[in-house]
């Protein structure tokens, strides 16, 4: 029997999922924020910092892609809570281990392990919250999870400004361990408990590919999220490189750019839940926020910078606000699939998007061999937004969809 769904979005599951995502984002963005300082401390030159920094980020993202598949399957086979417990233990220990690295190779492997752990947090958390919250308030609840969680990047920047990079990693690991205590009070999804008693297949990753309709839902759900990691993984992460090309004479700190972007993403993720609720449509809300992102992307490449680093930070904030559709994007992914495959889909989809940053940065780097940094960024962005807009047009609306169904 399914447990009664909470009447309020401010229930323990939502709060714990939000705090879990907070620690997730703290760790996920911490490397980008302390990348230069940590690699410089390891004795790397400026050219090595750029090359090895890109490589370590790719190792982390590959870990996310692999971990997303494993966590999603386990979330449907063993339960949402078991994955949430396991993921936070893994990435908390990886965080602590990061504080002890002495070589680039160690750094790569530990960020890979951290990626494996981080992969399960958001998708499974959104799945759990979606299944135990009334459908009329589902969008608001998941937006609250993302809105609170994304402030983890802001806190990571504040920690970077006040502590050494090694201590910042220790703090992340400690926060994760503290969260384990709160997780004890969260109960399992009633929908999952009901499906667990049936004979239906659960967590079969291949089911996402053996049916054309299901594969299209899966593929388009991934492609909708491409602009988010184009903005973060290319424009914001490499804001200092773009700044040089734009002739900005003041020093641009990528960590500060990430902080501005994520503070605005947090606001956007909360607002989009309200917009989706008001319009009674996930797709219309996505189109609005896509439009905001495109406006700020055009400003990014055409504005007169006048040597101002602060202007770069504010444009990054605008880009972040526009890409504050992460919560609705992942919620739509969860709503597209039945209970026996929901965690697998909702966990792998955002991590596949995160993993595409490897392809985006590779494209960006290869384009730079033939084009300028600015034109290369333009081309990657045009590709991402064209694909994303087509995917929104193609995928089905899921607002107020009843989630108590199965994939056969």
Query: Considering only CA atoms, which of 3, 139, 69, 73 is closest in space to residue 341?
Result: 73
Q: Is 88 exposed, middle or buried (0-12, 13-18, 19+ CB in 10 A)?
A: buried
Residue 186 tokens, joined = 């969260």
| 399 SS3 class | coil
Confidence at 288, pLDDT banded by 50, 70, 90: very high
pLDDT at 1: 40
pLDDT single digits (tens) 2-32: 455 555 667 777 888 888 888 888 988 888 8
12-41 vs 104-118: helix crossing angle, rounded to 10:
170
pLDDT single digits (tens) 230-281: 998 889 988 888 898 888 988 898 889 988 998 899 899 889 988 998 899 9
Q: Is 13 exposed, middle or buried (0-12, 13-18, 19+ CB in 10 A)?
A: buried
pLDDT single digits (tens) 127-147: 888 888 887 788 888 888 888
Q: Is 159 exposed, middle or buried (0-12, 13-18, 19+ CB in 10 A)?
A: buried
- The string over 342-366, giving b where at least 16 C-beta atoms fall within 10 Å of a residue's C-beta and e elsewhere, is bbbbbbbbbbbbbbbbbebbebbee
Q: Which residue has the higher pLDDT, 1 or 35?
A: 35
pLDDT single digits (tens) 48-96: 887 888 789 889 888 888 988 898 888 888 888 888 888 888 989 999 9
pLDDT at 8: 63
Collect all residues with Cβ–Cβ distance below 8 Å to 164 and sequence separation of at least 6. none
Q: What residue has token string 């991590």? A: 351
Indicate the domain borders of the chain: 12-184+205-394
Collect all residues with Cβ–Cβ distance below 8 Å to 283 and sequence separation of at least 6. 392, 395, 397
Q: Which fold has domain 12-184+205-394?
A: Growth Hormone; Chain: A; (1.20.1250)
pLDDT single digits (tens) 111-130: 999 999 888 887 888 888 88
Query: Considering only CA atoms, which of 146, 128, 147, 130 is closest in space to residue 138?
Result: 130
Residue 400 in this model has a pLDDT that exceeds 90: no
């Amino acid at each position: 029997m399914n447990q009664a769904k909470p009447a309020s979005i401010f229930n323990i599951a939502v709060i714990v999922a939000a705090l879990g995502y907070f620690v997730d984002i703290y760790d996920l963005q911490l490397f980008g924020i302390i990348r230069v300082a940590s690699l410089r401390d390891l004795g790397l030159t400026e050219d090595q910092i750029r090359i090895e920094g890109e490589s370590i980020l790719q190792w982390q993202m590959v870990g996310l892609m692999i971990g997303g598949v494993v966590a999603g399957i386990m979330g449907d086979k063993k339960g949402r809570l078991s994955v949430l417990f396991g993921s936070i233990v893994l990435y908390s220990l990886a965080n602590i281990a990061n504080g002890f690295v002495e070589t680039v190779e160690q750094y790569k492997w530990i960020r890979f392990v951290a990626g494996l752990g981080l992969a399960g947090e958001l998708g499974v958390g959104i799945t759990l919250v979606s299944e135990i919250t009334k459908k009329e308030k589902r969008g608001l609840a998941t937006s609250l999870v993302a809105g609170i969680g994304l402030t983890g990047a802001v806190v990571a920047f504040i920690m970077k400004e006040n502590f050494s990079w090694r201590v910042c990693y220790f703090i992340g690991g400690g926060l994760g361990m503290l969260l384990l205590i709160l997780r004890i009070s969260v109960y399992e999804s009633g929908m999952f408990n009901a499906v667990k008693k049936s004979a239906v297949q659960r967590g079969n990753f291949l089911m996402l590919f053996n049916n054309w309709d299901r594969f299209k839902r899966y593929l388009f759900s991934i492609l909708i999220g491409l602009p988010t990691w184009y903005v973060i993984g290319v424009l914001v992460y490499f804001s200092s490189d773009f700044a040089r090309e734009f002739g900005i004479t003041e020093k641009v700190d990528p960590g500060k750019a990430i902080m501005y972007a994520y503070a605005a993403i947090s606001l956007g993720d909360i607002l989009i839940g309200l917009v989706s609720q008001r319009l009674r449509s996930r797709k219309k809300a996505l189109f609005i926020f896509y439009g905001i992102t495109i406006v700020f992307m055009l400003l990014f490449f055409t504005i007169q910078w006048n040597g101002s680093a602060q202007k770069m930070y504010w444009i990054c904030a605008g880009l972040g606000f526009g890409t504050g559709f992460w919560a609705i994007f992942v919620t739509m992914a969860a709503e597209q699939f039945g209970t026996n495959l929901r965690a697998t889909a909702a966990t792998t989809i955002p991590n596949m998007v995160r993993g595409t940053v490897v392809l985006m940065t590779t494209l960006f780097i290869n384009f730079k061999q033939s084009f300028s940094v600015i034109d290369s960024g333009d081309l990657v962005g045009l590709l991402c937004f064209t694909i994303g807009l087509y995917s929104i047009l193609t995928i089905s609306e899921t607002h107020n969809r009843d989630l108590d169904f199965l994939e056969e």
